[in-house]
């Protein structure tokens, strides 16, 4: 009962399908608008918000600069606290570690705290292949799992679903995997949450093993931190006998003091709250209190690749607040599935190519899934300059195709422009041809822009059809600058164009 992003088409194809779903667009516009407004109100309460952003960015950047040293320190402190530390280079290694720990305890099921890292590595699917069921306990993740769906938002994975759809999923699916939903279930949020609570409670009380991620990992104290809103995380972190935490290596924070700005930035940027309802910290094993066996899997899975990119490494400062998704005009219209990854939106458009590398058509399409309006940078609590990284990655994608035997339409157009502009005679011929085309469009064309200027309609052909299908192409000027200069002596002589009646 798990869907997968494997085999998703490139962003333009996926976005086209999403745009045709009016219910999806309505759900997204309502949800992102609500979260966006809440965030703006609580951020406005903090006069020193920009100073706080700078402080948060500095903490994360300092951790990245000396990441190797801080990770070694984190391993030492976690081990001293009674935890067992594992290192995983990729998803396969991380999944194998978690599965082995579950098997060692004869567990055929685990309960999970919402975790982007475990979604990234496909842990649920990997455990299912080993005969181990993974139960999501976050409400939105539960909706996605029961609906055999895919998450479409980092913070609100079921943002594309409305209340009526959630009610139908609960009524249809809960009975097959545990306690059924009440027959008289309504679509009131409190009633839906109550049904989920009853459904999950038996799983919390039965599970021997829990799996979590971590928002932050403090190197100096060996402390992991999870912030959440529902209390399910604390149940997972305290009730089972064994706890396995899969933590991306970029989550490390050098000192306990460094948590201060991050814990103030995260709730306001993510859910529009002044503080998180539940902030759980744990440092290894405490006899008689909580899990008596704690494992921490430190996950690379492409993060060192991103770290090696001078421009792109700032993306590793991300604290997964989703603020960039909620202000993005592209995300608001197409939702998260079109990005083909557990990391959608502007941050996903840079994280995926940075961690996976460019060269795959689906990944290569993501840096172009942006209007470069800059709203994502304005709201990012740790000042990731996403537009800068997007442009940087677009250059990488273009460079990666320079040796193609059959060039793309854009590359062919650029090569043609270079050939034309490199020779004055060729440029003069093109200017004459362009002028003739402009005169023909002005006289015979039926497409007009606001203000009356003539424009070309949809032009057939590879590349041109897609470009002109969504954009206006104004008619070329009837006269080039050089022709105008000759005719008017650089504007010093008043010569009227005999055809148009326009003067110099």
Q: List per-residue pLDDT tens for the chain, 504 residues long.
A: 455 677 789 999 999 999 999 988 888 999 999 999 999 999 999 999 999 999 999 999 999 999 999 999 999 999 999 999 999 999 999 999 999 999 999 999 999 999 999 999 999 999 999 999 999 999 999 999 999 998 889 988 998 899 999 999 999 999 999 999 999 999 999 999 999 999 999 999 999 999 999 999 999 999 999 999 999 999 999 999 999 999 999 999 999 999 999 999 999 999 999 998 999 999 999 999 999 999 999 999 999 999 999 999 999 999 999 999 999 999 999 999 999 999 999 999 999 999 999 999 999 999 999 999 999 999 999 999 999 999 999 999 999 988 888 888 878 888 899 999 999 999 999 999 999 999 998 888 888 888 888 888 888 877 778 778 778 889 999 888 888 898 888 888 866 655 555 554
Token reading at 382: 């740790």
Which residue has 């206006």 as its token pair?
A: 472
Neighbours of 451 (CB within 10 A): 5
CA-CA distance, 445 to 438, in Å (whole number)?
9
Q: How far apart are CA 323 and CA 35, in angstroms?
A: 9
Contact between 444 and 424 (Cβ < 8 Å): no
Q: Are 312 and 355 a contacting pair, CB within 8 Å? A: no
CB-CB neighbours of 486 under 10 Å: 12
Q: Would you call 415 helix, strand, or coil by DSSP?
A: helix
Strand, coil or helix: 286: strand
What per-residue confidence (pLDDT) applies to 495? 60
* Nearest-angstrom CA–CA distance, 341 and 302: 14
Please give the Cα distance from 445 to 216 (Å, whole number): 61
**CB of 338 closer than 8 Å to CB of 89:** no
pTM reported for the whole predicted model: 0.86
Letter string b/e over residues 224-236, b meaning 16 or more CB atoms within 10 A of that residue's CB: bbbbbbbebbbbb
SS3 at position 291: coil
CA-CA distance, 444 to 354, in Å (whole number)? 49
Query: Rounded to an integer, what distance in angstroms lies between the CA atom of residue 19 and that of residue 482?
Result: 45
3-state secondary structure at position 248: strand
Instruction: Determine the 3-state secondary structure of 149 from DSSP.
Output: coil
For position 500, what pLDDT does the model report? 53
* Residue 137, token pair as written in the block: 């306990």
Give CA–CA dist 200/143, Å, rounded. Answer: 12
Nearest-CA neighbor of 416 among 478, 481, 461, 363? 461
Tokens 């990666």 found at: 400
Angle at CA 234, nearest 5°, toward 256 and 294?
A: 70
Beta bridge partners of 280: 226
Region for 222 from its dihedrals, namely left if φ exceeds 0, alpha if ψ lies in -120 to 50, beta otherwise:
left
């Amino acid at each position: 009962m798990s869907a997968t992003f494997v085999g998703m088409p490139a962003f333009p194809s996926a976005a086209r399908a999403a745009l045709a779903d009016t219910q999806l667009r309505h759900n997204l516009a309502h949800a992102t608008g609500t979260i966006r407004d809440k965030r703006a109100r609580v951020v406005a309460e903090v006069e020193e918000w920009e100073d706080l952003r700078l402080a948060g960015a500095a903490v994360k950047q300092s951790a990245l600069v000396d990441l190797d040293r801080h990770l070694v320190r984190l391993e030492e402190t976690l081990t001293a606290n009674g935890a067992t530390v594992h290192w995983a280079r990729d998803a396969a290694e991380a999944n194998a570690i978690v599965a082995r720990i579950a098997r060692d305890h004869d567990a055929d099921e685990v309960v999970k705290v919402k975790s982007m890292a475990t979604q990234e590595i496909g842990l649920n699917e990997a455990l299912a292949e080993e005969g181990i069921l993974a139960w999501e306990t976050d409400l939105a993740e539960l909706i996605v799992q029961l609906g055999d769906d895919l998450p479409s938002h980092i913070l609100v994975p079921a943002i594309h679903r409305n209340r009526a759809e959630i009610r139908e999923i609960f009524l249809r699916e809960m009975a097959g995997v545990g306690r059924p939903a009440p027959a008289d279930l309504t679509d009131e949020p409190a009633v839906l949450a109550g049904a989920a609570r009853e459904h999950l409670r038996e799983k919390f009380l039965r599970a021997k093993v829990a799996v979590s991620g971590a928002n932050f990992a403090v190197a100096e104290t060996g402390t992991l931190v999870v912030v959440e809103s529902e209390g399910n995380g604390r149940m997972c972190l305290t009730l089972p006998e064994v706890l396995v935490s899969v933590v991306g290596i970029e989550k490390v924070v050098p000192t306990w003091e460094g948590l201060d700005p991050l814990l103030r930035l995260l709730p306001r940027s993510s859910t529009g709250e002044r503080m998180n309802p539940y902030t759980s910290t744990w440092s290894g094993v405490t006899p008689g209190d909580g899990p008596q066996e704690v494992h921490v899997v430190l996950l690379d899975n492409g993060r060192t690749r991103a770290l090696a990119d001078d421009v792109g490494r700032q993306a590793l400062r991300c604290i997964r607040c989703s603020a960039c998704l909620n202000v993005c005009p592209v995300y608001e219209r197409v939702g998260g599935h079109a990005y083909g990854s557990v990391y959608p939106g502007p941050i996903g458009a840079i994280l995926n190519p940075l961690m996976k590398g460019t060269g795959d058509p689906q990944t290569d399409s993501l840096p172009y899934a942006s209007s470069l309006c800059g709203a994502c940078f304005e709201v990012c609590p740790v000042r990731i300059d996403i537009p800068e990284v997007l442009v940087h990655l677009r250059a990488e994608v273009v460079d990666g195709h320079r040796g193609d035997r059959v060039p793309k339409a854009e590359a062919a157009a650029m090569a043609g422009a270079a050939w034309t502009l490199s020779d004055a005679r060729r440029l003069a011929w093109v200017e004459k041809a362009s002028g003739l085309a402009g005169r023909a469009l002005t006289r015979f064309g039926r497409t007009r822009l606001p203000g009356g200027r003539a424009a070309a309609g949809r032009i057939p052909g590879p590349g041109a059809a897609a470009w002109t299908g969504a954009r206006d192409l104004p008619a070329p000027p009837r006269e080039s600058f050089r022709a105008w200069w000759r005719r008017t002596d650089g504007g010093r002589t008043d010569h009227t164009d005999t055809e148009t009646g326009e003067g110099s």
